[in-house]
Amino acid sequence: MLKGHQTWVFYSKPTILASAAVGGPFEAKGAVAEDFDILHEDIWLGQDSYEKAEKKLLEQAGEIALEKAGIKKEDVQFFLSGDLMNQIISSSFAARTLGMPYLGIFGACSSSMEGLALASLIIDSKSANYVLAGASSHNAAAEKQFRYPTEYGSQKPPTAQWTVTGAGAALVGEGGHGPRVTSATIGRVIDMGLSDPFNMGAAMAPAAVDTIEAHFRDMNIEPSYYDIIATGDLGKIGHRIASDLLTDHGLKIPENILTDCGILIYKPEQPVIAGGSGCGCSATVTYGHFLNRMRKGELKRILIVATGALMSPLSFQQKESIPCIAHAVSIEM
């Protein structure tokens, strides 16, 4: 049901029956390593390209989520997934392996919550019994496509972020036990004219703020309703900008509630510059770390606001600015 201008309220409260997070060797050294189901020692995952390695991450996340739920592939009606590669090839090729009816989505790094929102809508409308939602990214693959190949060894400015090598997946269904998806606020495209591909946090922060404000306006609730409000991958710089903008707009969210997946995923001593990023950032932190905390009883209500920069190498070459978006999904135990 639509509530307000841009928020869906799911009255059946679709259940996240199982979830999984898979990461690479750098994530194995991170702050939430214990919340991953698999951590690979090799960034190649035994494949002959980084792109194939990313596909493998997503396949594994999906398969593990299904195994945890005790659900067979053939019982899942739809697989929704997105990534950062050209023509979302990681998701499409993983769908080839998983063999499920497939809907590819692209919201850049907001794809994790875009997928979860759509999966929940499909379940809430009784258009499926089970929907698998996933998202992935790979550090070396993203660097090669959007910036410079890692072999180039280019220096980065203090605003740059580290793309997460990881994938997350969640199986959504009706009934059962587990965290429940209660609402989703679909974001607008916000473009403040920034064009620096090494400053994604600053570019995406206004979109995160716009969606957060819309969520609380539509739902008519206060930020204190949630234990955690986590943006997707603003990093240190974008997080600070978002916090300041929210305060300026009269929506002051306490520091112990407002956080960012890109800040949480790595340890302070890891050389990630401004923090983590990528579709796999919010996907792994949410489907691993946050949902594990909910299942342990440490968190009861969370709002995940996945952020995405809707740029491409082509748009950058044409000197376009960076349009951004954020989608918010509320999950309650």
Query: What is the domain count for the chain?
Result: 2
Q: Check residue 146 and give its pLDDT.
A: 73
Residue 150 sits in the same domain as residue 193:
no
Residue 34 sits in the same domain as residue 153:
yes
Specify the pTM: 0.95
Residue 153 pLDDT > 70: no
Burial class (CB in 10 A: 0-12, 13-18, 19+), 155: exposed
Residue 205 sits in the same domain as residue 153:
no
Residue 315 sits in the same domain as residue 188:
yes
Residue 52 sits in the same domain as residue 68:
yes
Give the Cα separation of 295 and 177 in Å (integer).
10
pLDDT in tens, 170-192: 999 998 899 999 999 999 999 99
Domain boundary among 112, 144, 173: 173
What residue ranges in the chain does DSSP mark as E strands?
2-3, 7-9, 15-23, 38-39, 78-82, 102-104, 130-137, 162-163, 166-173, 180-185, 228-231, 258-260, 276-277, 301-309, 324-332
Residues 6+ apart with CB under 8 A from 245: 205, 206, 209
Residue 131 pLDDT > 60: yes
3-class secondary-structure state, position 295: helix
Residue 239 sits in the same domain as residue 93:
no
Per-residue confidence band for 311, with pLDDT thresholds at 50, 70 and 90: confident
Q: Check residue 315 and give its pLDDT.
A: 85
- Residue 300 near residue 333, CB atoms below 8 Å: yes
Residue 163 sits in the same domain as residue 307:
no
Residue 246 belongs to what domain range?
Answer: 181-332
Residue 56 or 162, more confident: 56
Query: Region 293-321: what's the mean pLDDT?
Result: 93
Q: Check residue 152 and give its pLDDT.
A: 57
At 197, which CATH number?
Answer: 3.40.47.40
Residue 257 sits in the same domain as residue 290:
yes
